[in-house]
Amino acid sequence: MKKGIIFDVDGVLVDSMPYHASAWVKAFETVGINVREDEIYEIEGSNHVGVINLIFEKAGRVPDTEMYEDLLQKKRSHFMKNNKSLVFENMQECLGNLKSHYKLAVASGADRTIVTSLMDKFYPDIFDVIVSGQDVKHGKPDPEPYLKAADMLGLDARDCLVVENAPLGVISAKSAGMYCVVVPTYLAPEKLQEADLLLEDHSALVDYLNKLAASESSIE
């Protein structure tokens, strides 16, 4: 019986990745690197350090130390100015149901300002723990984000279920020893085969989570 559920944010709770991808494209342009939005989708879930390292490596370059904070600030600024993200249908009601039965957390690769702004706007007073990309030394696919969330919830990793939508996040969750449910929001399902359970879409995800809450209610 699981005691906690840990959610990725972008692409799971909020349809926000298009704005993240666009913001990263604009940020990298300022240092002479042209990157496509689909390249950002492929590394979704990594924190800003991981994204910068991966993109620079692909470009055959090494970032200067000061570039990490500078690019993060530029990316954040573009995102906050242009963000028109919306929640996925029925997710708010679903999370309200789950809160009565589970400890809830989010573990996102995005920076703290963006994560808290999205949670405050769309899911106020829902989550017991919020872990952002700035709260960990090693972002996804390292297990640290999910292990940190479990620890902050006061739970063993084996007692946590993870909801993801990206390959790096699935690897992170599985490396942490957690059961991982995935929904293919932006990428093809075949890129997410390492998850324990692959759901078709957000409608199926909401049904799955509501059934979990209902099963807990029947036990009580």
* Active site amino acids: 8
Strand duo 129-131 + 103-107: pairing: parallel
Residues 6+ apart with CB under 8 A from 205: 163, 181, 183, 199
**CA distances for 207 relative to 95, 98, 162, 194, angstroms:** 12, 12, 16, 22
**CA distances for 25 relative to 31, 33, 39, 112, angstroms:** 11, 8, 10, 20
User: Which residue type occupies 69?
Assistant: E
Dihedral angle computed from the Cα positions of residues 116, 23, 9 and 86, in that order, rounded to the nearest 10 degrees: 90
